[in-house]
Copies of this chain bind each other. A is one copy, B any other.
Amino acid sequence: MKHIAESTVRRLSLYLRFLEQSRREGKDTISSGDLAGLGGTTSAQVRKDLSFFGSFGTRGLGYSVSALSRRIREILGLEREWRVVIIGAGKIGAALAQYRGFADRGYRIVGIYDVAPARIGVSLDGITVRDQKELEGDAARLKPEIALLAVPPTAAQTLVERAAKAGIRGILNFAPAQIHAPAGVEVRHVDMALELEILSYALTNARKK
């Protein structure tokens, strides 16, 4: 398959939300224009995004809400359950452990790890925090696929490598650190401080529009 732009995948994920909302509202079909209105893009953009994966619409009518939802879930890999571990049981790790948005989408937290003795043994959202050293050893039992990395920036790189050894193939990094991804491991960043800086840039330079 041709390479798909990240911006397209991001919008697909948004479309899925709108589709689920539409389903709750009892709609059976939805047009590219409707989807665009909900998401702040254009109908052409919606159609182009979907066209990369096939043609699932009906001319003159629009898209079947349920069929398109199913197809997008399939494209994004949401038809299966993902086994996720949280590395770092500080405030952010703890918040992630109970975040509803993950469970709702089939991401199942199977383990939580930390280094601090004070945190090890504590139960977070029904899961006992274990020592980071156990990560590799636990791998055979837990079969983790994705890690949410919520540790101090200085520890991030080491833990990425440990996660890779535990067989983890995808990492969502919350630490404000640039990390080198081992081969075969996909790393994405959620960088709150950076987003806030982009926001203050926008506020500081607000009369350019």
Contacts and interface: CB of A to CB of B under 8 A. Distances in A.
Nearest to A106: B200
Given A3-B208, A193-B105, A170 B202 contact: yes
Interface in A1-52: 1, 3-4, 6, 9-10, 12-14, 16-18, 38-40
29 contacts: A3-B208, A4-B205, A10-B198, A13-B198, A13-B201, A14-B178, A16-B197, A39-B178, A75-B201, A75-B204, A76-B201, A77-B205, A82-B200, A91-B95, A91-B99, A92-B99, A94-B95, A95-B95, A96-B192, A99-B193, A101-B193, A105-B196, A146-B196, A146-B203, A169-B203, A170-B203, A172-B196, A188-B199, A188-B202
Contacts of A208: 1, 3
B6 A198 contact: yes
Interface of A: 1, 3-4, 6, 9-10, 12-14, 16-18, 38-40, 75-78, 82, 91-92, 94-96, 98-99, 101-102, 104-105, 107, 145-146, 169-172, 176, 178, 186, 188, 190, 192-206, 208
A178 B19 CA distance: 13
A91 B95 CA distance: 5
Contacts of A4: 205
Nearest to A203: B170
The interface residues of chain A, by DSSP majority, are classed as: helix
A95 B124 CA distance: 15
